[in-house]
Amino acid sequence: MLGQQFFRVKADFSIKETLSNGQSSLVMGSVYFNKTKGQIVFKINFPENFISVITDSFVYTIKDNKITDKTPGGGLLQFSIFNLTLSSKLNNYGLEQSQVFKLTNVVKEDSFIISTWSPAVEKLKEITGDVLISQKKKQLFGLVFFDKDGKLLSKQFFEEYKNFKGLEFPGIITQINFIDGKEFYKITTFKNVVVNGMNENTIYNYSIPVQ
């Protein structure tokens, strides 16, 4: 498969987010994903310098080469845009191969194909609901998440795709979370995308410090 040719991606990013206290935040830096290593490394340079690493089990915050925080992160790596893109699974958000969701409906609206994916595992039905996926020109455009009672939780939009050595990567991801009747926005912008870069091996293969 074509996706097997892609094993690394790097990008500069910025994340603008509205917070529950009415304020907003801005985070900037570079992100590195090494599919072979199986981890995402965020090298943050604003508003402060630190490193965040996502593995298949945990999320680490590292400052001055010391772990300052460690939290469970199951699923974050698998369903990250980096892993899904390099694995050629972004168009359906990896749900087709997940075996825990099943396709229950497909409709066409204008230039969009909208599919409904429902939990296929009883335990999952107790904690989450349907996921709606909209595709445009065979690319992932939108995601809509519901809770187990059918209440809207969040929406995501993927826009401004560009082609990098055959890899289609979105330039902007807009996430809207619905909490207590209010909308909270998180806008992630990617620039200077590098696919299969052979430099910066140290950060691509970043070693998490021993606690």
Residues 60-94 have pLDDT tens digits of: 999 999 999 999 987 789 899 999 999 999 999 99
Question: Tell me: the pLDDT tens digits for 5-44?
Answer: 899 999 999 999 998 788 899 999 999 999 999 999 999 9
- Domain assignment present for residue 63? The answer is yes
124-152 pLDDT, tens per residue?
899 999 999 999 999 999 999 999 999 99
Q: Work out how many domains the chain is built from and give that number.
A: 1
Contact predicate 183/12, CB 8 Å: no
What pLDDT does residue 43 have? Answer: 97
Separation CA 85–CA 202 (nearest Å): 22
Residue 210 in any domain: the answer is no
The residue range of the domain holding 131 is 2-204
In a domain, 99, yes or no: yes
CB of 67 closer than 8 Å to CB of 50: no
| 19 within domain boundaries | yes
> What number of CA atoms fall less than 13 Å from residue 159's CA on the CB side?
9
* In a domain? residue 13: yes
- CATH number, position 151: 2.50.20.10
The answer to whether residues 29 and 46 touch, using CB atoms and an 8 Å cutoff, is yes
Would 148 be classed as within a structural domain? yes
Residue whose C-alpha is closest to residue 84's, from 138, 35, 20? 35
Residue 34: other Cβ atoms inside 10 A: 20
Task: Confirm whether 113 is domain-assigned.
Answer: yes
Three-state secondary structure readout of the chain: CHHHHCCEEEEEEEEEEECCCCCEEEEEEEEEEECCCCEEEEEEEECCCEEEEECCCEEEEEECCEEEEEEECCCCCCCCHHHHHHCCCHHHCCCCCCCCEEEEEEEEECCEEEEEEEECCHHHHCCCCCEEEEEECCEEEEEEEECCCCCEEEEEEEEEEEEECCEEEEEEEEEEEEECCEEEEEEEEEEEEEECCCCCHHHHCCCCCCC
What's the pLDDT at 3?
A: 40
Distance between CA atoms of residues 175 and 24, nearest Å: 14
Q: How many residues does the chain have?
A: 211
Band (110; pLDDT cuts 50, 70, 90): very high
**Domain-embedded: residue 114:** yes
